Amino acid sequence: MKNKNFFNSIFPLDSNQIELLKDFEKNCSNVQLAWISGYFWNLANQNSFNDKNNINVLDLEKKNINDHIITIVSASQTGNARLLSKRLNAYLNKNNKKTYLIKASDYNFKNIKNEKFLILIISTQGEGEPPEEALSLYKFIMSKRAPKLNHLKYSIFSLGDSSYNLFCQAGKDFDKRLNELGASKLIDRLDNDIEYEDNYIKWSKELLLVLNKVNILSSSSTISLEKNSNTIKNYTKYSPAVANIINNQKITGRNSTKDIRHIEIDISNLNIKYKPGDALGVWYKNDINLVKKILKTLSIKKSSLIKFKNKKINIFEALKNHFELTKNTKNIVKKYADITENKFLKNIVSNDQYLEKYVENTPLINMIKDHPYHISCQDFINILRPLTPRLYSISSSQAENIDEIHITVSVVKKNISGEIHLGGASGYLSVLLKIDDPLEIFIEENNNFRLPDDQTKPIIMIGSGTGIAPYRAFMQQRDNDKSTGKNWIFFGNPNFTEDFLYQIEWQRYLKKGLLTNITLAWSRDQEKKIYIQDKMKECGKEIWNWIEDQSYIYVCGSASNMAKDVHQALLDIISYYGNMNIESANKFLDNLRLTRRYQRDIY
pLDDT tens column, 126-151: 778 899 889 889 998 998 888 999 99
Domain match, 38 and 161 both: no
3-state secondary structure of 436: coil
418 pLDDT tier (thresholds 50, 70, 90):
confident
The yes-or-no verdict on residue 48 having pLDDT over 80 is no
| pLDDT per position as a tens digit, 268-309 | 989 999 999 999 999 999 999 999 999 999 999 999 999 998
Please count the CA atoms within 13 angstroms of the CA of 168 that sit on its side-chain side: 20
* Res 1: pLDDT: 43
408 part of a folded domain: yes
56 part of a folded domain: yes
Domain match, 276 and 294 both: no
106 pLDDT tier (thresholds 50, 70, 90):
confident
Domain match, 66 and 179 both: yes
C-alpha span between 99 and 76 (Å, rounded): 19
- Cα–Cα distances in angstroms (integers) from residue 168 to residues 67, 117, 190, 353, in the given order: 30, 22, 9, 20
452 part of a folded domain: no
What rounded mean pLDDT belongs to the chain?
87
Residue 513 falls in which region: left (phi positive, over 0), alpha (psi -120 to 50) or beta: left
Q: What is the average per-residue pLDDT within 218-243?
A: 65
Side chain identity at residue 279, one-letter code:
A
Overall number of domains in the chain = 5
* Res 60: pLDDT: 44
Residue 140 · residue 95 · CB < 8 Å: no
| pLDDT per position as a tens digit, 492-536 | 999 999 999 999 999 999 999 999 999 999 999 998 999 999 999
* Res 17: pLDDT: 60
Q: Report percent pLDDT > 90 for the chain.
A: 74
Indicate which CATH number applies to the domain containing 335. Answer: 1.20.990.10
Beta strands, E only, 315-418 = 390-393, 404-410, 413-416
Q: What is the average per-residue pLDDT within 82-92?
A: 94
Domain match, 4 and 152 both: no
329 part of a folded domain: yes
* Res 11: pLDDT: 46
62 pLDDT tier (thresholds 50, 70, 90):
very low
Which residues lie across from 250 on neighbouring strands? 261
235 part of a folded domain: no
Q: What is the average per-residue pLDDT within 224-241?
A: 67
The yes-or-no verdict on residue 216 having pLDDT over 80 is no
Task: Give residue 589's domain range.
Answer: 459-602
Domain match, 495 and 594 both: yes
384 pLDDT tier (thresholds 50, 70, 90):
very high
| pLDDT per position as a tens digit, 297-348 | 999 999 999 999 889 999 999 999 999 999 999 999 999 999 999 999 999 9
- Cα–Cα distances in angstroms (integers) from residue 278 to residues 7, 229, 340, 474, 563, in the given order: 32, 12, 44, 11, 19
* Res 233: pLDDT: 61
C-alpha span between 121 and 175 (Å, rounded): 11
3-state secondary structure of 147: coil
The yes-or-no verdict on residue 45 having pLDDT over 50 is no
Domain match, 566 and 484 both: yes
* Res 220: pLDDT: 43
Domain match, 465 and 593 both: yes
Long-range contact set of residues 237-242: C-beta below 8 Å, sequence gap at least 24: 237/79, 237/281, 237/283, 237/389, 237/442, 239/442, 240/281, 240/283, 240/389, 240/440, 240/441, 240/442, 241/267, 241/270, 241/272, 241/440, 241/441, 241/442, 242/438, 242/439, 242/440, 242/441
C-alpha span between 412 and 213 (Å, rounded): 51
Q: Do β-strands 222-224 and 241-250 pair in parallel, antiparallel, or remain unpaired? A: unpaired
3-state secondary structure of 403: coil
Pick the last residue of a domain from 175, 190, 224. 224
Domain match, 55 and 162 both: yes
Domain match, 108 and 183 both: yes
The yes-or-no verdict on residue 63 having pLDDT over 50 is no
188 part of a folded domain: yes
Please choose, from the candidates 428, 423, 404, 405, the residue with its C-alpha nearest in 3D space to the C-alpha of residue 413: 423
9 pLDDT tier (thresholds 50, 70, 90):
very low
The yes-or-no verdict on residue 197 having pLDDT over 80 is yes
C-alpha span between 261 and 410 (Å, rounded): 6
* Res 342: pLDDT: 94
In this prediction the pTM is: 0.76
